[in-house]
Chain A
């Protein structure tokens, strides 16, 4: 790379979502034009709208969009971009992209292709680190990727061990193998995942350190040979080997250990002539011993933590380095100020194995609080696609102390509303409030140790009841506002009050019935989950409602501020307060016509006599199969299966007289007869 400063004018951001927005933010601040690239799935995304220019790459699957070097380079040429920032993930650690940029005369914002290549292959990286005198975890990273070799090497390294994608990162393609018997299946699965995620199924094996902490050092180098570290980030709290909470400083590091690890990281960086921002990952044992894991030759997801404690803008630093500028400061100029903690908010269901969620984010709101930073790529109403990582946002809090940063983050998270999709929001709050977290007692098994089997949002019936009252009040207001007839007469006005109004909500798999009487001016008497007649009611008051904020005063004078988002089409009220979220589905007051009829029931089209019964209970039938033949008005009528399924009931016999509309047979959906 040339040492004469480049003039950059326009940066193409070869990424999506929050990181694309975050990079663009710095570009704008520095006066650089931005180009977004996007897949079909992202065409309405914020990062696309906010960019100065945007180019469609192609279909949603990453391989056909964000992983296509060819398409991205074409976009750069089309827009005349003179620099390319790869973000994290996707192509960020592909040397080929850096090379293609160089060939096209585009400045790649990142390290040299050589450095990427050297670190991209994990075993190569490990060898380099060891050569630089940095301790590494025992393992195998050889070229021989045969099943037999890998199995043999696994036995050498010992169990438990970790199988990782050599080209990977971020936990993808990573599997713990606890016994020799699991090797064969794990190898196949790890290869499959590695190939799918990175296009390379080379694996490495390493010892799985028990009770380990994940501590990484941010490094930053320029093209003039300057290289500093920006201290550590502890990322021990993980689920499925992926980080969900990162902080700096690490509560586990003494100044001496920090200096030692920082120095080791810089040594690795120097060994490969590293420029730009990178991360050297270590495993830290409880004995204070640390082992080199790998180098991520890119901006890290959790980089904001470092930015908040160092005051540096890492993207700005990357751009400065890419322009060929010297860092202009040395290690001694850098200090860690206060404490920063980041949490990753995911659209996933912790209660069911962190299953990623896809669908519409009905509501997404993070309050703006002092000392809290939000990096997100989505807003209310966006679709969370199955094609990409389900991370919705990163929320980062800074404080003078770890406790202060924790409190700030908790307060913000408690008021953060994620509706329409399950999220790990409540779990993040519980982690932050856990005594072990406060004590700094972290390792990568934190969740298993402290939350085993209880990862979902805890039930809170009184929260649900409050939510039901809020939903009722909102509907009540809406009914008043939409009523054409006597709109000025108070809702529920009676000269002879008899029966309260009732409404039933589905909350999860339970239902909640609310009986209420409007007293006018926002006052109500409500009774919950009691029979219609009798039961104690409580006086509550709607203080204010301006979507989405509802203030409700309970019978005890306690005022609650709730965030309520109404999805009218789905008759669903999403209610959020600091006590958590409740989604209420208003049950219709009346059964839908025909709902009473048996689903899948085949009925007689008219009164008649059964001539023949062809269906037998338990029989699999295809749609259109004749079940019963009916004779009426001297004509034979065939009654057929409306769906593919299994005959669960035959209600008539040949010769029987039937009424029109009478059920003759029932077919339930299921596998049709195997042919």
Chain B
């Protein structure tokens, strides 16, 4: 019998004590965090609330989530992205009025978006625009066909200044994706006015629902305003008119179900082929239970945890081929498989030193050499500081790692499993480094530094300045100021603050990590996986 590559890798021996105080304490807090996450997600599913949802259903329409559930293959998985965009942000609803993710339609992974028609008539909000942009980016970066389920009143007019200019990207991206040969399909369920009209306008395929879809640059009132012409909705932009007269619509759907069916029919004829890595169908599940991640992930981020314990619970067979285990041990690097996909993993086991940064840069080059996707497990408080380390050149060594991350061309996926502070966020492929997907655990915190640290820095600077001016420090004022800063920074470091602003693609239940990574890898492997040996100048 031939060994699969995974079986050649050594097994990770887990050392956790599931009855230990630390484990139980972590677990208790993490379970609470998950309850909080579920509450937030529940808000994302409310749409416009019971009143508007009922009104929508009473009109014989499906809610956007129902449309998506009908569109995707029965029993197939669906990876929703950024469900908490806009959560607890002023003037925003949780989900930001648009929902989307990666679903399997007629056997093809597609990027699906749907406007939340019951939220302000599906009008586009500022965060909704950025979320739509992020979803489009996922389609573009991974080369996924896209399906837009449209029912939108267009721009949220009172807030038009926040979206009008940047909003244009959406239409540009549609046609660029089309040029890239990733088909764009638009199913119009309701009104799609003004800017909204360009979504069907720019899509490769358009389906409109009879007696429901209305697509026009300007509705009857605006037409009357502009030219004085009297017009009816249907003649101006009805599905029948567009299907029979204008040709804006390619398919006339009898009803919503028929529209969904047509969407599936269109995808079925695309002759879609993935060009990336094709994993074997059979692979081993991890030896250790993913449930134990809840006891492993530190609730108090000051307490470190061994990244190998996480790796053991997400990779095939819990087998991991570690690279340079004795060198720069605060960055664990090595190869494993997830759902049969090869991955090169970089995981923090402490702060980054020169050695660990150098090791990481080398490892990324090796993965590029072999066309292996990267997985970053980010739990980093930053690079080591201090005289010794500066003199060792921590800046140039850290820069090497950032150079490697920036110029690597294999797909990267980042999971934030703890801290994400300072330049560590960058070096470990934070959002700005364009990992294909970025998910976070509920226990993670993000920021330039922690609230306490920032308050401490502020304290030192204030005292220094006072001393320079020969003044006495107003202790009370400084204390209040520090408290305020610490409070604000801590709040802004919360995963909910981050995910609401699209700093990531969603907070996930740590136990789902393996499957989320697998779906991300699968989507990423729609495009060829091709590494590069071309990097910026490494400063040695």
Interface residues of A (CB under 8 A from B): 475-476, 479-480, 483-496, 498-499, 501, 503, 518, 532, 589-591, 593, 596, 659-660
Minimum CB–CB distance for A307 against chain B, Å: 52
B477 at the interface (CB under 8 A from A): no
The interface residues of chain B, by DSSP majority, are classed as mixed
The contact string, 1 if C-beta is below 8 Å from chain A, for chain B 502-537, is: 000010110010011011001000000000000000
Q: Residue of A at shortest CB range from B338?
A: A488
**Contacts between the two chains (Cβ within 8 Å), count:** 102
Minimum CB–CB distance for B504 against chain A, Å: 12
Q: Are A491 and B509 in contact (CB under 8 A)?
A: no
A591 — which chain B residues lie within 8 A by C-beta? 254, 257-258, 261
B187 at the interface (CB under 8 A from A): no
A484 — which chain B residues lie within 8 A by C-beta? 107
Selected from A501, A596, A660, the residue in CB contact (under 8 A) with B69 is A501
Known: A485-B107, A590-B260. A494 touches B78 (CB 8 A): yes
B66 — which chain A residues lie within 8 A by C-beta? 499, 532
B11 at the interface (CB under 8 A from A): no
B515 — which chain A residues lie within 8 A by C-beta? 488-490, 493
Q: Are B518 and A488 in contact (CB under 8 A)?
A: yes
Q: How far is the CA of A498 from the CA of B244 in the complex (A)?
A: 36
Q: Are B45 and A498 in contact (CB under 8 A)?
A: yes
The contact string, 1 if C-beta is below 8 Å from chain A, for chain B 76-99, is: 111110010000000000000000
Q: Are A486 and B45 in contact (CB under 8 A)?
A: no
Supply 10 A–B pairs (Cβ within 8 Å), ascending by A. A475-B74, A475-B75, A483-B76, A486-B77, A493-B79, A499-B65, A501-B69, A589-B261, A591-B261, A596-B258
Q: Are A485 and B74 in contact (CB under 8 A)?
A: no
Q: Are B41 and A496 in contact (CB under 8 A)?
A: yes
Known: A499-B65, A501-B69, A660-B244. A480 touches B258 (CB 8 A): no
Known: A486-B518, A488-B340, A501-B69. A493 touches B244 (CB 8 A): no
Q: Are A496 and B77 in contact (CB under 8 A)?
A: no
B63 — which chain A residues lie within 8 A by C-beta? 499
Selected from B74, B108, B340, the residue in CB contact (under 8 A) with A479 is B74
Minimum CB–CB distance for A609 against chain B, Å: 17
Q: Are A495 and B75 in contact (CB under 8 A)?
A: no
Selected from B45, B244, B258, B518, the residue in CB contact (under 8 A) with A496 is B45
Q: Which interface class (under 10, 10 to 19, 20 to 34, 35 or more) fits B? A: 35 or more
Minimum CB–CB distance for A661 against chain B, Å: 8
B257 — which chain A residues lie within 8 A by C-beta? 589-591
A660 — which chain B residues lie within 8 A by C-beta? 244
B516 — which chain A residues lie within 8 A by C-beta? 495
Minimum CB–CB distance for B107 against chain A, Å: 6
Give 9 new A-B contacts, CB below 8 A, not counting A476-B75, A492-B75, A498-B45. Answer: A475-B74, A484-B107, A485-B76, A485-B108, A489-B77, A491-B76, A491-B77, A495-B509, A593-B261
B315 — which chain A residues lie within 8 A by C-beta? none
Q: Which of B255-311 contact A (CB under 8 A)?
A: 255, 257-258, 260-261, 264, 281, 283
Q: Are A495 and B506 in contact (CB under 8 A)?
A: yes
A493 — which chain B residues lie within 8 A by C-beta? 77-79, 512, 515, 519
4 closest A-B pairs by CB = A493-B77, A590-B261, A479-B75, A491-B75
B367 at the interface (CB under 8 A from A): no
B70 at the interface (CB under 8 A from A): yes
Q: Are B83 and A495 in contact (CB under 8 A)?
A: yes
Interface residues of B (CB under 8 A from A): 41, 44-45, 63, 65-66, 69-70, 73-80, 83, 104, 107-109, 244, 254-255, 257-258, 260-261, 264, 281, 283, 339-340, 506, 508-509, 512, 515-516, 518-519, 522
Q: Are A503 and B74 in contact (CB under 8 A)?
A: yes
Known: A485-B107, A486-B522. A501 touches B75 (CB 8 A): yes
A479 — which chain B residues lie within 8 A by C-beta? 73-76
Q: How far is the CA of A596 from the CA of B65 in the complex (A)?
A: 25
B109 — which chain A residues lie within 8 A by C-beta? 485-486
A492 — which chain B residues lie within 8 A by C-beta? 75-77
Q: Residue of A at shortest CB range from B53?
A: A533
Q: How far is the CA of A143 from the CA of B150 in the complex (A)?
A: 87
B44 — which chain A residues lie within 8 A by C-beta? 496
Selected from A475, A489, A499, A503, the residue in CB contact (under 8 A) with B339 is A489
Q: How far is the CA of A213 from the CA of B422 in the complex (A)?
A: 98
Q: How far is the CA of A484 from the CA of B516 in the complex (A)?
A: 17
A518 — which chain B residues lie within 8 A by C-beta? 75
A596 — which chain B residues lie within 8 A by C-beta? 254-255, 258
Q: How far is the CA of A388 from the CA of B137 in the complex (A)?
A: 68
Q: How far is the CA of A452 from the CA of B412 in the complex (A)?
A: 73
Q: Residue of A at shortest CB range from B261?
A: A590
**Which of A480, A499, A659 is packed against the most chain B CB atoms within 10 Å?**
A499
Minimum CB–CB distance for B85 against chain A, Å: 12
**Which of B78, B281, B339, B522 is packed against the most chain A CB atoms within 10 Å?**
B78
Minimum CB–CB distance for B134 against chain A, Å: 15
B518 — which chain A residues lie within 8 A by C-beta? 486, 488-489
Minimum CB–CB distance for B387 against chain A, Å: 45
Q: Residue of A at shortest CB range from B105?
A: A485
Q: How far is the CA of A488 from the CA of B63 in the complex (A)?
A: 29
B104 — which chain A residues lie within 8 A by C-beta? 483, 485-486
B519 — which chain A residues lie within 8 A by C-beta? 486, 489, 493
A491 — which chain B residues lie within 8 A by C-beta? 75-77
B261 — which chain A residues lie within 8 A by C-beta? 589-591, 593
Minimum CB–CB distance for B377 against chain A, Å: 18
Q: Residue of B at shortest CB range from A481?
A: B281
Q: Residue of B at shortest CB range from A477?
A: B75
B339 — which chain A residues lie within 8 A by C-beta? 486, 488-489
B69 — which chain A residues lie within 8 A by C-beta? 498-499, 501
B76 — which chain A residues lie within 8 A by C-beta? 479, 483, 485, 491-492
Q: How far is the CA of A660 from the CA of B252 in the complex (A)?
A: 13
Q: How far is the CA of A593 from the CA of B45 in the complex (A)?
A: 32
A590 — which chain B residues lie within 8 A by C-beta? 257-258, 260-261, 264
Q: Are B80 and A495 in contact (CB under 8 A)?
A: yes
B75 — which chain A residues lie within 8 A by C-beta? 475-476, 479-480, 483, 491-492, 501, 518
Q: How far is the CA of A484 from the CA of B106 in the complex (A)?
A: 11
Q: How far is the CA of A204 from the CA of B78 in the complex (A)?
A: 76
Q: Are B522 and A485 in contact (CB under 8 A)?
A: yes
A487 — which chain B residues lie within 8 A by C-beta? 281
Q: Residue of B at shortest CB range from A492?
A: B75
**Which of A485, A487, A589 is packed against the most chain B CB atoms within 10 Å?**
A485
Q: How far is the CA of A591 from the CA of B264 in the complex (A)?
A: 13
Q: Residue of B at shortest CB range from A596?
A: B254
A489 — which chain B residues lie within 8 A by C-beta? 77, 339, 515, 518-519
A499 — which chain B residues lie within 8 A by C-beta? 63, 65-66, 69
A488 — which chain B residues lie within 8 A by C-beta? 283, 339-340, 515, 518
Q: How far is the CA of A494 from the CA of B515 in the complex (A)?
A: 10
A589 — which chain B residues lie within 8 A by C-beta? 70, 74, 257, 261
Q: Residue of A at shortest CB range from B63?
A: A499
Q: Are B281 and A496 in contact (CB under 8 A)?
A: no
Q: How far is the CA of A628 from the CA of B510 in the complex (A)?
A: 68
Q: Residue of B at shortest CB range from A498?
A: B65
Q: How far is the CA of A588 from the CA of B339 in the complex (A)?
A: 32
Q: How far is the CA of A492 from the CA of B516 in the complex (A)?
A: 13
B340 — which chain A residues lie within 8 A by C-beta? 488
Q: How far is the CA of A501 from the CA of B522 in the complex (A)?
A: 23
B512 — which chain A residues lie within 8 A by C-beta? 493, 495
A503 — which chain B residues lie within 8 A by C-beta? 74
Selected from A476, A495, A498, A593, the residue in CB contact (under 8 A) with B79 is A495
Q: How far is the CA of A475 from the CA of B75 in the complex (A)?
A: 9
Minimum CB–CB distance for A326 against chain B, Å: 67
Minimum CB–CB distance for B287 against chain A, Å: 16
A498 — which chain B residues lie within 8 A by C-beta? 45, 65, 69
Q: Residue of B at shortest CB range from A592?
A: B261
Minimum CB–CB distance for A212 against chain B, Å: 58
A496 — which chain B residues lie within 8 A by C-beta? 41, 44-45, 80, 83, 506
